[in-house]
Amino acid sequence: MTSLPIDPSADASRERIYRRNFALFLTDGILFSLAMAIIGPSTLIPDFIRRLTSSEVLIGLSSSIFDVGWTLPQLFIARYIVRFARKKWWFAGPNIPVRFVMLIFAVITVLLGKDQPQAILIAFLICYGIAAVGDGIVGVPWADLTGSSLDNRWRARMFGLMSAITGVLMLLLVSPFIGRVLADPALAFPNNYALLFGIAGGLFALSIIPTLLIHELPGGKAVEKIASLGEFLPMLGRVLRTDVPFRSILIVRMLTSLFAMASPFYIGFATVNLGLSSTVAVPTLLAMQTLGAVVGALVYSWLGARNQMLFIRLALAGAALLPISALLASALGPVPLYVGFLFSGLTVSNLFLGYQNWVITHATPDQRPIYAGLFNTVSAVISLIAPFIGGTIAQELGYEALFVVALVMVCGALFVTLRYVRSPRKTSMVLAQT
């Protein structure tokens, strides 16, 4: 077998495209992540919803809506987009209307006013749900784009720097600003929260721009005919039966979702059990989480490019410290909880990026849409039921019981990674005519 000559100009051209795409993906990721961090599902959202309802199940559900809406439609989208070799506009197109939704919700909140909490709650669930499902529609093409249009080196750097830069901005600018907004007597409820939702909505809208400029490189080959459901579902079953590492990382993701069902209740634990005010608890816990995220992102940008599984295992071990710290805070006061949120930012904030990158790297280009869709959609089923489990435990047995269950789940996830999951195989990326 003769080897083909290496074309240095092709390598240089590919590297230029990677570098340009890296800057665009990074810009989009920072704007989107900053918006998501402002309306934090473990800080601002549960605190906001607690002012609208006393139902622990609804509080838990409100924080999980985005995860469920983002992951649930991905398998169905994956089934259709395999017909297309180019998938950029499956990603960029839906972003245009969907990323204005939270900005619209901010306006609705102001118009409804404090005397209509139930109407605000319904509007939030609808708008946040639309934003989540819309982002779920673009989730698979986004995974395919990051896999085809960035190589493993640039992708790991992008994920790490995205989290690090977002964390620095949150720590130095956004967290203190959130504290001032919530404490400002001139901004009465719900206008104070509406302002924060509005700023987040503006960042979502701005993130549309860089996605339009991404230079898409060829990925998997287009499929001429979509498999029928009778063919498609057995194919998914074969993937789960035969690919043990993928099945194992899917179990890890499901256990992590059950661990995360406690996330919306740490802020309630701080304000109800520990007696902290929202103006102290929300910005302080968010700042500690963000500080950890900055350090964790730097670790991920270095270690994730070298050994993804080592990072995932270390992150799961660190994640166990959050429920442990909350249990200690019951006896010792809020300081252990602050430390727990610091380690939560250090580990959990980059853990799901680690999972996503593992799947993208593990699957071949032709398999990537199916693997990404299957991974996220199956995870969504657990994310959908987790708020009902977590809310019921919190309401009937108390926050401490929920934290014990979360600790068991994350320890189970760590065991599976140690026993059954290996580092993903490397897939060669060949640049075709662009």
Worst-scoring range by mean pLDDT, 279-293, 299-313, 316-330, 406-420? 299-313
Over residues 408-418, mean pLDDT: 92
Quick check: 42 and 264 in contact, CB under 8 A?
yes
Of 378 and 394, the structure prediction assigns the larger pLDDT to 394
pLDDT at 393: 92
Quick check: 82 and 231 in contact, CB under 8 A?
no
* 427-to-37, 51, 54, 324 alpha-carbon distances in Å: 33, 49, 50, 39
pTM beyond 0.85, yes or no: no
Quick check: 343 and 292 in contact, CB under 8 A?
yes
pLDDT at 224: 59
- Whole-angstrom distance, CA of residue 46 vs CA of residue 31: 22
* pLDDT value at 42 more than 80: no
Quick check: 149 and 14 in contact, CB under 8 A?
no
Give the gyration radius of the chain's Cα atoms: 21
Alpha helices in 99-174 (DSSP H): 101-112, 117-137, 139-149, 152-169
Q: Report the amino acid identity of residue 6.
A: I
Structural tokens at position 378: 């199956």
The per-residue pLDDT for range 321-355, each reduced to its tens digit, is 889 999 999 888 888 988 888 887 777 766 777 78
Quick check: 359 and 372 in contact, CB under 8 A?
yes
Which residues, at least 6 apart from 139, have a Cβ–Cβ distance to it below 8 Å? Answer: 70, 71, 73, 74, 77, 372, 376
* 202-to-120, 156, 165, 166, 266 alpha-carbon distances in Å: 20, 27, 18, 16, 28
- Whole-angstrom distance, CA of residue 228 vs CA of residue 94: 25
Nearest CA to 104 out of 206, 207, 201, 204 is that of 201
Taking the CB of residue 419, how many other CB atoms lie within 10 A of it? Answer: 8
Report the interhelical angle of 244-260 vs 308-319 (nearest 10°). Answer: 30
* pLDDT value at 206 more than 90: yes
Over residues 123-140, mean pLDDT: 86
Nearest CA to 103 out of 207, 211, 213, 210 is that of 207
Worst-scoring range by mean pLDDT, 31-45, 116-130, 420-434? 420-434
* pLDDT value at 5 more than 90: no
pLDDT at 157: 79
- Whole-angstrom distance, CA of residue 320 vs CA of residue 313: 11
Q: What's the DSSP call for residue 170?
A: I
- Whole-angstrom distance, CA of residue 297 vs CA of residue 306: 14
Q: What's the DSSP call for residue 83?
A: T
Over residues 149-164, mean pLDDT: 79
Over residues 77-98, mean pLDDT: 74
* pLDDT value at 416 more than 80: yes
Q: DSSP labels for 18-52?
A: HHHHHHHHHHHHHHHHHHHHHT-TTTHHHHHHHTT
The per-residue pLDDT for range 222-264, each reduced to its tens digit, is 555 566 556 666 777 777 777 888 888 889 988 988 898 888 8
When pLDDT is cut at 50, 70 and 90, the band that residue 106 belongs to is very high
All domains in the chain, ordered by first residue: 13-218+226-420 (1.20.1250.20)
Counting other chains too, the contacts that 399-402 makes at CB distance below 8 Å and 24 or more residues apart are 399/265, 399/268, 399/269, 399/272, 399/273, 399/326, 400/326, 400/327, 400/330, 402/261, 402/262, 402/265
Quick check: 379 and 71 in contact, CB under 8 A?
yes
Question: Which residue do the tokens 């380690």 mark?
Answer: 343
